[in-house]
Structure 1
């Protein structure tokens, strides 16, 4: 299910069910970090990055902040449009990041579950 709203949590890094965070930025070689609390029994988690400018790769990890060195799933390639689909994600906190291959700005990350 596509995200339909901005996430309501007060921490701007926290994602929720079917929502997104916009205007994410980072310089080249740095990260924009996010996290999401996945309920037990969730069959699939979809994470989508889109919009903005620059070049950002999308990373996911179910145990620690997602980085190039610590990621259980990732996408790479030019631009900011990337999608990860995680089957049977671990319940609890899961971690998402955008890594600036070059500086990026104005990117939106959404979750669907």
Structure 2
């Protein structure tokens, strides 16, 4: 039989959160405060959306790296649209007779 060749491009799977009720971000809390990796998602907290199985660690690293790049682009776009804040003056408007602070007497 002829083996199938590997794809030329990496196909990033769609990811969903682990559906194991005991899994909290890839960690299962055991007795006496012990923390163990989730057996269903291999400690990543994410599953393949189509197969609902753990994703290969190599693909997981690639997928998370791509997500980080996309989020960094979003952050740069948000920072570019942000107007600069006015300078902060905690005691603005207080008289100099009170030492620059307001009092409640």
When normalised by structure 2's length, the TM-score is 0.18
When normalised by structure 1's length, the TM-score is 0.17
> If each structure's helix is expressed as a fraction of its own residues, which one has the higher value?
2
Higher relative contact order (CA 8 A, sep 6+): 1
Larger Rg: 2
> If each structure's strand is expressed as a fraction of its own residues, which one has the higher value?
1
